[in-house]
Amino acid sequence: MSEIKEEQKGLRVKPINNGTVIDHIAGGQALNVLKILGIAGTTDATVSVVMNVESRKLCKKDIVKVEDRELFEEEVNRIALIAPAASINIIRDGKVIEKRTVDLPDEIVGVVRCQNPNCISNTLEPIKSRMLVKTKNPVLLRCLYCEQPLTDRIADYLI
Amino acid sequence: MFMKRHVLTMREFSREEIDSVLDLAASLEPYARGQKSDMMAGKILALLFFEPSTRTRMSFETAMKRLGGGVINLGPAEGSSISKGESLADTVRVIGGYADALVIRHPKEGSARLASQFSPVPVLNAGDGAGHHPTQTLLDLYTIKKESHLENLSIALVGDLKYGRTVHSLAYALSLFGADITLVSPASLRMPDSIKSDLSSKGTRVRETCDLGEVINNVDVLYMTRIQRERFPDPVEYNKVASCYRITPEFMAGAREGLIVMHPLPRVDEIAPSVDETPHARYFQQSFYGVPVRMALLKMLISGGS
């Protein structure tokens, strides 16, 4: 919270009354976080993005604020794919009513595509990509279909 | 003992499940040799081969027919619903309604797992791209058990160990039996590190060498594979490498007595035809054993239990 308060004092982005603040995103990853959350450029939601601000916990961090939307746990947990240190603050009437860290689930469905071009999941079959989470730190994913691992450059394969 | 609904990869088999398949295959061998059976009477097996295959397709067909069952064939993809753009998911849902089990070979990796998610009947993976071919591994194990021994086995896997899916799943399965594995390949076709470390983590002894002559008198089984010409941009380099991994009766003179030579076939020139006449050759028996092993799997999946 202290870093959020400090940032509020500087009025880089004004505090929100209701919604979700995602803090401690690794610097430069905010737009990928929005992608994971399914918030595209055409969204109606009020979204604030702060990138590469100084952080004591991380060298540089990003912050995302989504107004009037309380993100579900399963939605935010997927953020751990690229921002394992992220913290989630649910805001109601200007107060933080819930604060939690992200925890990657055992399987990620429909978020990351397989890097194997010959995998059946990269065809027009009526299936979603399914990645099994083999290790969480560092993140190691394995395609349920072709079993090919995906370790680095996960952000490049976000759907 | 055998609780599988589908046969997709060897990794899903325990040692006990492998043993139960091999035991049942042994009891079915007389039927594979022609003894009459109606065990599968009234049952239908569908063959969905989206890629060419000779021995795998024909041995599945033989296995089902020798047990008294019927076979339906997708046939060439041209002119079928596939050429009209039907998805694999729809194809297996439809054909799964006609048959009691499906055998699938498809060029895309993971296709058999996808088929298993949509099929109302058991699916057997007969090769999914560079992925898995578990029935080949089971018939290899059966051959080793019948013609040599699975306990305290010393085996050399020879040739293309980088791209060959057959040797990857065989090495994994042999690790369940505590085999001593020697990997013999040119430097450019070595087994991937991820597979080697997986084997070592299971306590399997793995050695690597480029020299086939070094291992010939130390192993019980020589498992040869084809080195594909297209892996080498330079034909001179290919010829040099290929000649180092070609066995002849003269070369076999230094072999341990009782050593057997296996090959998933088709061979090109890695085994001289004159080796066929030596007591070491077992690759044609190996090919035949595909029938009782596939009979066992069909019986277990379609009729249930052993």
| DSSP calls for A14-47 | PPPSSEEEEEEEETT-HHHHHHHTT--TT--S-E
- Domain borders along chain B are 10-132+290-303, 135-287
CA distance B255 to B222: 10
User: Domains along chain A?
Assistant: 2-101 (3.30.70.140), 107-157 (2.30.30.20)
Verify whether the Cβ–Cβ distance A145 to B109 is below 8 Å. Answer: yes
User: Closest chain B residue to A118 measured between Cα atoms?
Assistant: B108
d(CA A6, CA A9): 5
Answer whether A120 sits within 8 Å of B114, measured CB to CB. yes
- The rounded distance, in Å, linking the Cα atoms of B62 and B56 is 10
> In which band, very low, low, confident or very high, does the pLDDT at A72 lie, cut at 50, 70 and 90?
confident
Best residue in A146, A148, A150 to probe B by mutation, most B CBs within 10 Å? Answer: A146
Q: Do the chains contact at A125 and B88, CB–CB below 8 Å?
A: yes
Q: Which fold has domain B10-132+290-303?
A: Rossmann fold (3.40.50)
Closest CB to A119 among B89, B109, B194: B109
Query: CATH homologous superfamily of domain B135-287?
Result: Aspartate/ornithine carbamoyltransferase (3.40.50.1370)
Looking at the complex, report in whole angstroms how far the Cα of residue B4 sits from the nearest Cα belonging to chain A. 18
Residue A126 preceded by cis peptide, ω within 30? no
Work out the angle at residue A100's Cα, subtended by the Cα atoms of residues A95 and A102, and round it to the nearest 5 degrees.
Answer: 140
Choose the closest CB to A144 out of B88, B113, B128: B113
pLDDT, position A5 = 56
Please list the pLDDT of chain B residue by residue as tens digits (306 residues). 666 799 999 999 999 999 999 999 999 999 999 999 999 999 999 999 998 888 999 999 999 999 999 999 987 766 566 767 889 999 999 999 999 999 999 999 999 999 999 999 999 999 998 889 999 999 999 999 999 999 999 999 999 998 888 899 999 999 999 999 999 999 888 998 888 988 888 889 999 999 999 899 999 999 999 988 777 778 888 887 887 889 999 999 888 889 999 999 999 889 999 999 999 999 999 999 999 999 999 999 998 855
Model confidence pLDDT, tens digit, residues B105-156: 999 999 999 999 999 999 999 999 888 999 999 999 999 999 999 999 999 9
What is the Cα Rg of chain A in Å? Answer: 16
Which is nearest to B281 in space by CA: B259, B301, B297? Answer: B259
Partner B, chain A 63-122, Cβ-Cβ below 8 Å: 116, 118-121
Please report residues of B whose CB lies closer than 8 A to that of A120.
88, 106, 108-111, 113-114, 128
Instruction: For residue A51, count CB atoms less than 10 angstroms from its CB and return exposed for 0-12, middle for 13-18, buried for 19 or more.
Output: middle
Kindly report the pTM of this predicted structure.
0.88
Q: One-letter amino acid identity for B298?
A: L
- In this prediction, residue A75 has a pLDDT band, given cuts at 50, 70 and 90, of confident
Best mutation site among A125, A134, A148, A151 for testing chain B: the one with the most B CBs within 10 Å? A125
Q: What is the largest CA-CA distance in chain B?
A: 57
Contacts of A123 in chain B (CB under 8 A): 108
Contact present, B270 and B242 (Cβ < 8 Å) = yes
Q: Among all residues of chain A, which has the CA nearest to that of B131?
A: A146
Strands (E), chain B: 44-49, 70-73, 101-106, 123-128, 154-158, 180-184, 205-209, 221-224, 260-262
Does residue A3 have a pLDDT over 70? no
Residue A92, SS3?
strand
